[in-house]
Amino acid sequence: MQQHNYSLRVFFEHTDAGGVVYHANYLNFCEQARTEWLRSFGISQQKLKEELKLGFVVIHADCQWRVAAKLDDLLIVQTQIEKITPVRIIFKQQIFRENSQKNILLFETLLEVACVEFAESNKIIPKKIPRDLVEKFQK
C-alpha cells in the first residue's frame, strides 16, 4: 500500500521553553497526517461522522522518540497502512526532519485505530469498516 507524506513546520506553540517539541505533539502531528491521508481519498472525517455516523478512534500506539524536533524544523510525516482487519487499521507513521543531505528520523509509531459508530445513545460501538473505504485504502 502506498505511502502518504504530510509536511509541517514546527512553531513556537509546539515547543517547550528550550525550543524542543513537546513529546505529545508528535502524536498530534501524526493525527494531522492521518486526517490529510483520509482527505487524499476524498474522505472528510466530518462527513463520515455526519452521513455514516462513523469515525476512527486510536486504541493503541507503540511509539519511539529518537531525536528531538526543534523550533522552525520542517517535518515530513510519512503514513502507510501496515494491516487492515474488518474493524481496525494499523498504521506505521514516521516523522523526519527534512535535510538536504538525508532526512533524519525523529519519531515512529505503530498506531492502531478502530472504526466505530457514534450511536444516538452516545455510546461508541465497534463497526466494520465500509467495504468501499477498504477498497480505496488498498489501492
Q: Which residues form the catalytic set?
A: 16
Q: Which helix (H) or strand (E) holds 77?
A: strand 74-84
Closest CA to 108 of 80, 74, 85: 80
**Helix-strand-coil percent breakdown of the chain, rounded to 5?**
25, 45, 30
8 Å CB contact between 48 and 118: no
Q: Residue 108 has which C-alpha cell?
A: 515512529
